[in-house]
Structure 1
Amino acid sequence: MTVSAFETGGSLRVSLGQCSTAGRKPVNQDFHGAYIPREPELSSKGVVVALADGISASAVSRIASEAAVRSFIEDYYGTAESWTVKTAAQRVLMATNSWLHAQTRRSEYRWDKDRGYVCTFTALVLKSRTAHVFHVGDARLYRLVEGRAGGALEPLTREHRTWMSPERSYLSRAMGVSEQLEIDYLALPVEAGERFLLMTDGVYEHLSEARMCQILAEHATDLDAAAHALVQAAFDAGSDDNLTVQVVRVEEVPLGQAEELYSGEARLPFPPQLEPRMVFDGYRILRQLHASDRSHAYLAVDQATSDKVVIKILATELRESPKHVERFLMEEWIARRIDNPHVVKAHRSGRRRRYLYSVTEFIEGRTLAQWLRDEPRLELGTVRSLVEQIARGLRAFYRLEMVHQDVRPHNVMVDATGHATLIDFGSVRVAGIAEGRPEEANDPLGTAAYTAPECFLGEPATPRSDMYSLAVIAYQLLTGALPYGTEVAKTRSRAAQRRLAYRSALSVNRELPAWVDEVLRKALHPQPKRRFEALSEFAYELRQQSPAFLKKSRPPLVERDPVLFGKGVAALLALLVLVLLLE
């Protein structure tokens, strides 16, 4: 099968040439494919080129090869846009491997895996300015390094083959061999003009690297012809195996790290000043909900559906900052991709927008910050319910490789029934978008009082960082205070963080069970690894009387009530002085 070289528009452009033939064998057990999508998939998922090589001993390995390539391409583009390339590809490959292995176990070949649904697999994913390589088996992927005499080939993969003797060998790793799959992964930067070469062993075992470079140089302007020429040269050299070659050239890469993720929304003009009773883009403005140094939010009614919505516009002072514009656009982008009852949903009007703003559903209720002002201390049962709901919302982020980074009372809405909903995603870190960008050593994006200590050291936030923030909220709802006061934001070294002293919740709320304080203490530990492994574990332990925490003794008085302890010591010293004077 031959595919002519072609190009795609957008910020990333590639050309591709492919050729595959059975050669001297009656059946071609190789399978190859590629997909170059249009925007926005081109920026969010990239370009995929893949090939698989069936095992000669298996009569069904052609099925395995085709399934591996087809499922990888189709399923990869079906994964969450927020996932990193590595996560998306590996999960798809794991699923395909499980399917192939199950097919073998259900077939007549279950006792002879080499004759089952087994194949090698190699894929190249080009996204933005990065090449991602995934490899299992003995196919090869090269990068052409330009230089004199046609350049040189740099191997980016290694063969997973064990040699018993100079004549005998077997694949030590392949798709479908076992339930577990170990995948080689490599990520490297790419530049315009770079070329990549994928091929099966039927080609590279019969051609020297010098000969391959020569052929590539002779067909530098026609990649399809280059792929054909490489296959023919291997055949002429005596190859008796199937022959597959894919040649990829990167024509153009994005100028910067930012991707075009928003389908042109960033080019829209900013809206005018919104006022009550004003009709704006099909919405009737009712009133302003809040204003901050980052954005202004308004309650409005969609005139087409009568739905109440929240319209948010970027603060005037930030409109000249590409970074802040991108973060603002990301909020609604995230809301569109998370479907969870505890995460605010984006409002879809179906109308084309004329301005740059975001629209989400309106939640009738009050924020947890308002709750704290109205009711400084809540019942333990109410706090447990709120923590569990917020945790369920946050886990929806984690499933898409997102971290909220700004879990605080102002960002949680609670309606009249006690239903909690996370709002405001301006600080969310999306792994799939951050991928390939250098980490910026800026101050944490969240609110200082609720931000985990590790974020003040410049470390990226993780789900355990969100757990810390949620535990601060729980502590505050139960006590009306903060576990470390304002000290966390001042600790900018590990040594300083080790000196942080947790203030027992019992010193403020003496009615709180001692084991609950121990649960909070663990979730609020300055070191992320000392916290619970998952949010679900924290929420569970907060409700269940775990033996591990029940065994812990009640904290000493100096921790529970330092003031009372100090008064007691002073009284004891006064009594001692009095006794000495009487003597």
Structure 2
Amino acid sequence: MTHLSVTTGQHSEAGKKSVNQDFHGLLIPDDHQLQSKGIAVAIADGISSSNVSQIASESAVAGFLSDYYSTPESWSVKQSVQRVLRASNAWLHAQTRQSQYRYDQDRGYVTTLSVVILKSATAYVFHVGDARIYRMQGSTLEQLTTDHRVWLSPEESCLNRAMGLSQQLDIDHLTTAVWPGDTFVLATDGIYEHVSARDMAKTIHQFNGDLNQAARELCSTALANGSTDNLTVQIIRIDSVANALNRDEAQQGAHQLPLLPELSPGQVLDGYRILRLLHASSRSHVYLALDDDSGQQVALKLPALELQQDVRALGHFATEHWVAQRINSPHVIKAFAPERQRSALYLATPFVQGTNLRQWLLDNPKPPLETVRQLIEQIARGLRAFHRLEMVHQDLKPENILIDQQGTVILIDFGATRIAGLQEVIGHEEPCWPRGAALYSAPECFLGEATSWQADQFSLAVITYQLLTGQLPYGTRVPGIRNRGQLRKLNYQPASMLRDDLPGWVDLALARALNPEPHKRYPALSEFLFDLRQPNPRWHQQHQAPLIERHPLAFWQGVSALLLVALVVSLAHRN
């Protein structure tokens, strides 16, 4: 098993200037964040017309390296970096607006910023400004970034994109695979304007055993060639990348912890005293247990012993534990005592006194529309807790939705959850075939297409339809879809045809959330919930009541006026 490892070299100096307005940084975590967040490299070059740009460059780099590693582990690199950079840009822009330079941005808190994140076997490049990022493979130095600089004349130029320049930030983004031996070079214009790409590659090869010396040599060469600017260069060589065996951090516990045979009442497991079996299947066993420390009732979920050789199934089980530790919502089941050391593979959660939505539906056929709204709104709040962390539940069905004795809805079973940040660690896209219940899965899953949070929206709408009508909107046709021709043949059957007390405008909301094409569904769950409570303006446009119903007085006045005109015309013709 190999892990991501690098050799680095860096150097920065003011050169012939009195102040160094460049700033650079590199952070290599020594814990689990090396896998979940990767190695971060950043370089910034403050604009020379400003006396405070060195503050901007230092704040941009230092703030990024701190805040990036504080973002959720479930977030993708792109989500994490862009959130941090946009927050940093807003802060820098606000500093300028609150200073004496608010009417002269060229003297404000403005800087370039270029970032490389190395995670697993991939490099993620983010860039604003004119510092450059190169990749060297063999003896070839390839520029990966574009200079955001406009030349006003052969001698004069200005930045058209930079951190702090405006409230809006447009970030260049590039993703590329890496291999051992690849080298990344980050340099400010004080270097690359006076040292050619060929000479940079030659120097790095010459001092390959000491990259810090290579960085110093590049700065010396730039000075000797007439550079009058600050000089900063960073060199990062990839020594090894993570292999497929250890890329999924969520599954590591599944390989390290043993599986247990069936438990009996009275047995004690890590302080949990087994009371009775709640549920058993070929994949898992769920027990009611008592925590000896707190006296609280707990549900223990253990994978079936038959899964011992099923690496994929054990990985899904470990994913469920990983997710339960990280989501904090009253509508999502939590991991119980997450810091407790486990001696075997299991998931401990608080025991929910209540029933699942499947049984509730059997007990409450055709519930009132308002009751359905309240249930769906709670489920949506649970789903949004997933989506905020860039997770897709992917297994939303009535059996995975609990309702406690107070009427609170709680989502369970996260083994099928797609986690953007961990998907990057795997190094390739997992198959997109349904991992949850087929009858509730979105059509795109059966085409092998990548799924997003809108797949959860489809599943939520299926459950809404079923609660209102007792039936599925497309019957059993969705799991049989294998091509786009079959997809286009899916026709929505209005729920109001199955339930006469249902307002017709509710169908407009359901039909959109259940659209076979993901991009035609709602752009936010909140819009779906809003349209379930009141008619969408489109409904009024498509189903406007006749004038006689909306304004009967005006209707009859209009009819009388037309009759009067007709009478006058008739009399005129007689005369």
Q: Please state whether the residue corresponding to 1:179 is helix, strand or coil.
A: coil
1:375 counterpart = 2:364: yes
1:450 counterpart = 2:435: no
Residues 366-409 of structure 1 deviation map (CA, whole Å, 9 limit, x = unaligned) = 00011122223222111100000001111111111111111110
Match of 2:453 in 1: 463
1:179 counterpart = 2:167: yes
Picking from 84, 89, 94, the partner of 1:97 is: 89
Match of 2:558 in 1: none
Q: For residue 461 of structure 2, what is the amino acid of its counterpart?
A: A
- The structure-2 alpha-carbon separation of the partners of 1:118 and 1:349, relative to structure 1 and needing over 3 Å to count, comes to closer
For residue 552 of structure 1, report the CA deviation from its aligned partner. 4.8
Match of 2:242 in 1: 254
2: CA distance, partners of 1:133 / 1:352: 38
For residue 424 of structure 1, report the CA deviation from its aligned partner. 0.6
Q: For residue 399 of structure 1, what is the amino acid of its counterpart?
A: R
Residue identity (%)? 52
Picking from 478, 481, 487, the partner of 1:491 is: 481
Q: Please state whether the residue corresponding to 1:119 is helix, strand or coil.
A: coil
Match of 1:476 in 2: 466
- The structure-2 alpha-carbon separation of the partners of 1:418 and 1:550, relative to structure 1 and needing over 3 Å to count, comes to farther
Residues 153-190 of structure 1 deviation map (CA, whole Å, 9 limit, x = unaligned) = 11111211111121111111111111111111111011
For residue 317 of structure 1, report the CA deviation from its aligned partner. 3.2
1: CA distance, partners of 2:491 / 2:127: 49
1: CA distance, partners of 2:413 / 2:88: 37
Picking from 192, 202, 213, the partner of 2:190 is: 202
Residues 498-554 of structure 1 deviation map (CA, whole Å, 9 limit, x = unaligned) = 212322222322222222233222222222233222111111111123343355559
Q: Number of aligned pairs? A: 542
For residue 326 of structure 1, report the CA deviation from its aligned partner. 1.9
Is the deviation greater in 103-112 or in 309-318?
Answer: 309-318
- The structure-2 alpha-carbon separation of the partners of 1:66 and 1:458, relative to structure 1 and needing over 3 Å to count, comes to same
Which residues of structure 2 form unaligned runs of 5+?
545-575
Picking from 315, 322, 327, the partner of 1:333 is: 322
Q: For residue 422 of structure 2, what is the amino acid of its counterpart?
A: I
Q: Is the 8 A contact 2:208 2:214 kept in 1?
A: yes
Q: For residue 288 of structure 1, what is the amino acid of its counterpart?
A: L
Picking from 209, 212, 220, the partner of 1:232 is: 220
Q: Is the 8 A contact 1:134 1:185 kept in 2?
A: yes
Q: For residue 63 of structure 1, what is the amino acid of its counterpart?
A: I
- The structure-2 alpha-carbon separation of the partners of 1:253 and 1:310, relative to structure 1 and needing over 3 Å to count, comes to same
For residue 312 of structure 1, report the CA deviation from its aligned partner. 1.3
Equivalences for residues 424-439 of structure 1 within 5 A: 424-435=413-424, 437-439=427-429
Q: Is the 8 A contact 2:432 2:449 kept in 1?
A: no
Which residues of structure 1 form unaligned runs of 5+?
1-8, 555-583
Q: Is the 8 A contact 2:2 2:241 kept in 1?
A: no
For residue 452 of structure 1, report the CA deviation from its aligned partner. 1.2
For residue 72 of structure 1, report the CA deviation from its aligned partner. 0.7
1: CA distance, partners of 2:481 / 2:487: 6
2: CA distance, partners of 1:221 / 1:547: 68
Q: Please state whether the residue corresponding to 1:216 is helix, strand or coil.
A: helix
Q: Is the 8 A contact 1:128 1:257 kept in 2?
A: no
1: CA distance, partners of 2:35 / 2:155: 46
Match of 1:75 in 2: 67
Match of 1:300 in 2: 289
Q: Is the 8 A contact 2:89 2:163 kept in 1?
A: yes
1:516 counterpart = 2:506: yes
For residue 282 of structure 1, report the CA deviation from its aligned partner. 1.4
For residue 257 of structure 1, report the CA deviation from its aligned partner. 6.8
Equivalences for residues 341-360 of structure 1 within 5 A: 341-348=330-337, 350-360=339-349
Q: Please state whether the residue corresponding to 2:134 is helix, strand or coil.
A: strand
For residue 435 of structure 1, report the CA deviation from its aligned partner. 2.2
Match of 1:273 in 2: 262
Match of 1:405 in 2: 394
Picking from 101, 126, 143, the partner of 1:155 is: 143
Is the deviation greater in 96-105 or in 510-519?
Answer: 510-519
Q: Please state whether the residue corresponding to 2:184 is helix, strand or coil.
A: strand
2: CA distance, partners of 1:191 / 1:314: 37
1:85 counterpart = 2:77: yes
Match of 2:20 in 1: 28
1: CA distance, partners of 2:80 / 2:227: 36
Picking from 313, 318, 321, the partner of 2:310 is: 321
Is the deviation greater in 433-442 or in 105-114?
Answer: 433-442
Residues 399-452 of structure 1 deviation map (CA, whole Å, 9 limit, x = unaligned) = 111111111101110012211011111111111111263334453112111111
TM-score normalised by length of structure 1: 0.90
Match of 1:241 in 2: 229
1: CA distance, partners of 2:2 / 2:48: 41
Q: Is the 8 A contact 1:406 1:428 kept in 2?
A: yes
- The structure-2 alpha-carbon separation of the partners of 1:547 and 1:133, relative to structure 1 and needing over 3 Å to count, comes to closer
Q: Is the 8 A contact 1:515 1:552 kept in 2?
A: no
For residue 275 of structure 1, report the CA deviation from its aligned partner. 1.9
Match of 1:559 in 2: none
1:53 counterpart = 2:45: yes
For residue 264 of structure 1, report the CA deviation from its aligned partner. 5.3
1:112 counterpart = 2:101: no
Match of 2:516 in 1: 526
